[in-house]
Chain A
């Protein structure tokens, strides 16, 4: 044995030993995953059924695992277009729970809670569940709500008030805003697209509610599902006792035009400047009902695209890119009209990249076939969740109800797993081509749109929306073709006195006063051109801060401590030293963009985006009529200017309303003294 082979052999032995010892220690080859056991048989029970003389069809699922029982009533009917009374059916539902001819709301609540039951009625049904031993009392309460609503006027006032507070709550919830816009765009004038507002809620009267109840609350075609610790025999007795006296009748039917997907993909934005994340939804309407032959295929498609945490959207946007906490897609189904929706909440900076990835995934699933592995995984997942859903006895009742309502084949659910297993790769692509429409979608984004508005324009035409999903038309007034950002600035300069007079002002001494939480803040500002600024802030008579700028040097003093500022820190003070910064706007390095016309305090104003050299930008509003500056928005906050008065022939704003995230209340600042071209002691601007 040569030295070399010896070494080699030793190496082999060592390696062998190592493997051996590990194998011995583990006794288990962990690189091989356990095989599945034989698939368990999935049994789907059949509920007992019977029909009462008034047309009410009853399903009974007996399950005595827990001593509980539930009764669920559904009246299937077409949705009703509520128009200027949007919110009516929801008010009907709420008011039905707020008093019967024999019980006040307080008594109802007390009696329900006393037996620990959950009992409620709605404009299209009702629900009651309790421990078995409280069944009689629970049914007594439930049927009282269903048959004897009193619709008390004062309760309507209360629920209106609460609904209005609810609307107020939504105003700041980016998800609620997004859902409003999606609904309005996707469903348009269909009843599914209606939104309540303060106005429509206030239009609703008790009379409307009574009429609605009288017209639509009838047992014909209705279903009662009883689940729990109850035999069929007992269910029959109970149903007869509580539901057979309910008089039958016909309910009006309606047909609506189906909402259409947009001809071209467009981008709908809502500006919420305080957002740190953008809520993105890509959505459009589709026609897909449970009884469509495409239904099961679209479940597979939906899962592969974005149904869970192994799906493409999640793997791409979260696990690969880290843009979001979760990204999902769903393909809805409904008797009338449903929607496809792909969504994610992502950090503001990656908004356009995230939209790109979502659109990429939508296109990819149409253009390319899914893999066998994806298909198998999707089938396994869907079979698994089907199996899990059977843990709840109400699932079986739900199945029976669906078969009935959607005219499904009787063995639809018994064959569900078989049908699922039969779905092929080609089937998935075929339904993808039919239902996934990246070129006919609404891309709805709620966020700090200033940060990404330009970048998302590549996905389609961009329009702005308010929180109710109405398009924000900038203003009725259109910008005249002759108006440019430059002309707006020049008009302003002319309006306050003209370039010559402005340039002649070399110094300003201004004292302002504001009140915050009972304390007076007095600020003295001295400016001398070029490049000198002295600022002194007094609170309750004590100086709390001094700032002095002279050329490139600045000093800030506060509470006996001073600090010299350098470089970039000096920049904001430099622009603050300008008496009329607008005089510089037309110089090189500045960038002006005339955006549109918006309303500021009831006046039409040109909105101009100003980018200052060095990258800082702000948005300014100039009165279309007078030319005066009405408002500034910047990272430092927001200021509104009012009360322009002339000093030496030049107009200055004598009242400012400032808001910024650091101050709790809007700060009303009044100018108490303003002098121009006075001699200022040179020592005032001494920095060292």
Chain B
């Protein structure tokens, strides 16, 4: 017995030492207006990714105006002083590029991927909307309708679509994480053009943004262009509001039933997690992998395969700047009640608390993580986002080169400790999703 585990740890050492994370080299500088810029050169394919990360998300919203950050993401495609309504996407796409954006509780992220000979245009376009985006009533009204349809499509008309909003609402009582980025349509209807402009002037300023450029670039030329187009964007003068409230621990389990247009019941459990920068961040990621990463993961093996009580399971860390949620959910197999699945999910969590993860399983876990760390930086766009987020949340873009080292620090004892510390039954949200009894399915 002893021999085997010794062999396993030896193997473990061996594997760990043979792998060195491929280093992503980059250069950084900051303009006088506070804009932080990161550049990564990789000339393998003649394309370039340009992204701007604004440090504003739904958590920065006025509780009477939820959905603003996401709505704004839509508005910023409307145009600028020099770009007519609807032209933004056209210009990028007619130059052979692609673009998109997303908004989370913490950030708003815009990116474009262009042929590398269009880098200057890409920088010009992003600088236009940072300098003087143009937002008019027609744009506001059209995008209001579009966002309503987005909400209907992604939440209201989709089975289990309300899972995240319903969970957030119960897990957070004081922190603005209690509402999802899509926010409230009533609030958006009530908002005036002036309010949108004020939001722009507060948050969409260079000192609240990170510009990242990666791909087939000449760094010197790139730096000149960045200066040319971005240095005249004035620094923001308003104080940027950031939530300071601390969400208290959930005092006593919160349990509820949601009736939805679904056929199979589902069980959702959510526990508070610490801040994104907490030392235990990587432990939570590993727990997610133990529970639902791959077919041999504990929840898949036990609940889906062996017991066949669920058709799908997941354990996902929703890691957020001020402390997110660790969410577990299972969709029951046909004919299985939610109340039959839930105790089995609990057992899987209890096992984590009661018994150290066996060495062999721990080795598997590290191999899985290693694979995903290596594969993580396979696209230019992916690298761009990783650099920008590391800079924003960790204050250091080089952090992306140390991810594997951070994972290696996590021990089996850490996993047990974190499970015991955070997965408390009297401090969680449990939701049952049950089929709505309706006339005509």
Contact = CB atoms under 8 A, between A and B. Distances in A.
Nearest to A163: B311
Contacts of B15: 133
B157 A275 contact: yes
A392 B369 CA distance: 22
Interface stretch (B39-47, B238-246, B316-324): B39-47
B94 A376 contact: yes
Interface stretch (A106-114, A215-223, A328-336): A106-114
Contacts of B261: 172, 274
Contacts of B96: 380-381, 383-385, 387
A65 B297 CA distance: 30
Interface residues of A, number: 89
A504 B90 CA distance: 73
A42 B44 CA distance: 11
B277 interface: no
A449 to B, nearest CB: 10
A162 B333 contact: yes
B374 A113 contact: no
A172 B159 contact: yes
Given A37-B117, A277-B152, A659-B437, A169 B159 contact: yes
Contacts of B113: 388
A293 interface: no
B82 to A, nearest CB: 5
Interface string B95-117: 11110000000000000011111
B334 A110 contact: no
Of A67, A272, A380, the most chain B CB neighbours within 10 A belong to A380
A171 B143 CA distance: 31
Interface in B21-79: 22, 44-47
B311 A169 contact: yes
B248 interface: no
B120 interface: yes
A33 B18 CA distance: 49
B308 A37 contact: no
Contacts of A388: 45, 47, 98, 113
A323 B145 contact: yes
B402 interface: no
A161 B436 CA distance: 23
A172 B441 contact: yes
Contacts of A65: 22, 44, 378
B95 A36 contact: yes
Contacts of A376: 94
Given A323-B145, A377-B94, A664-B257, A131 B152 contact: no
A592 B85 CA distance: 49
B8 to A, nearest CB: 11
B159 A173 contact: yes
A367 B179 CA distance: 48
Of B113, B152, B368, the most chain A CB neighbours within 10 A belong to B152
A165 interface: yes
A114 B378 CA distance: 22
A613 B46 CA distance: 68
Interface in B125-164: 128, 131, 141-150, 152-154, 156-159
Interface residues of B, number: 95
B379 interface: yes
Interface string A168-188: 110111100000000000000
Contacts of B363: 114
B135 to A, nearest CB: 15
Interface in B357-397: 360, 363-364, 367-372, 374-375, 377-380
Nearest to A639: B439
Interface in A482-522: none
B91 interface: yes
A675 B43 CA distance: 89
B46 A41 contact: yes
Contact of B305 (A33, A106, A377, A392): A106
Interface stretch (A314-322, A549-557, A645-653, A676-684): A314-322
B189 interface: no
A377 B437 CA distance: 50
Given A38-B117, A42-B46, A388-B98, A25 B22 contact: no
A380 B118 CA distance: 11
Contacts of B153: 277, 324-325, 345
Nearest to A307: B93
Nearest to B157: A277
A663 B333 CA distance: 24
Nearest to B295: A109
A66 interface: yes
Given A274-B261, A384-B98, A391 B334 contact: no
B410 interface: no
Interface in A381-406: 381, 383-385, 387-388, 390-392
B7 interface: no
Contacts of B45: 387-388, 390-391
B263 to A, nearest CB: 4
Nearest to B310: A165
B124 to A, nearest CB: 5
Contact of A116 (B89, B97, B301, B371): B371
Interface string A626-664: 000000010001100000000000000000000101011
Given A105-B305, A322-B144, A68 B375 contact: yes
B232 interface: yes
B296 A109 contact: yes
A115 interface: yes
B93 to A, nearest CB: 5
Interface in B308-357: 308, 311, 331, 333-334
A335 to B, nearest CB: 28
Given A325-B146, A346-B149, A168 B334 contact: yes
Given A36-B95, A380-B94, A380-B96, A387 B364 contact: no
Contacts of B333: 161-162, 165
B121 interface: yes
Interface in B389-435: 434
B149 A347 contact: yes
A323 B149 contact: yes
A535 B229 CA distance: 72
Contacts of A666: 437
Contacts of A346: 149
A113 B368 CA distance: 7
A164 interface: yes
A31 interface: yes
A194 interface: no
B325 to A, nearest CB: 24
Given A39-B117, A158-B308, A113 B297 contact: yes
Contacts of B124: 30, 33-34
B266 to A, nearest CB: 10
Given A40-B116, A169-B263, A308-B93, A110 B232 contact: no
A131 B90 CA distance: 40
Contacts of B86: 315, 319
Given A114-B363, A173-B159, A325 B150 contact: yes
A273 B93 contact: no
B173 interface: no
Interface in B196-235: 216, 228-229, 232
9 contacts: A40-B115, A114-B364, A116-B369, A130-B371, A131-B371, A168-B264, A273-B440, A322-B149, A661-B259
Interface of A: 25-28, 30-31, 33-42, 65-68, 105-106, 109-110, 112-117, 130-131, 133-134, 158, 161-162, 164-166, 168-169, 171-174, 271-277, 308-310, 315, 318-325, 345-347, 376-377, 380-381, 383-385, 387-388, 390-392, 633, 637-638, 659, 661, 663-666
Q: Which 5 A-B pairs have the closest CB atoms?
A: A384-B96, A322-B145, A116-B371, A40-B46, A37-B117
Given A40-B116, A172-B441, A390-B45, 9 more contacts: A40-B115, A110-B364, A114-B296, A308-B93, A322-B145, A324-B149, A345-B157, A376-B94, A661-B438
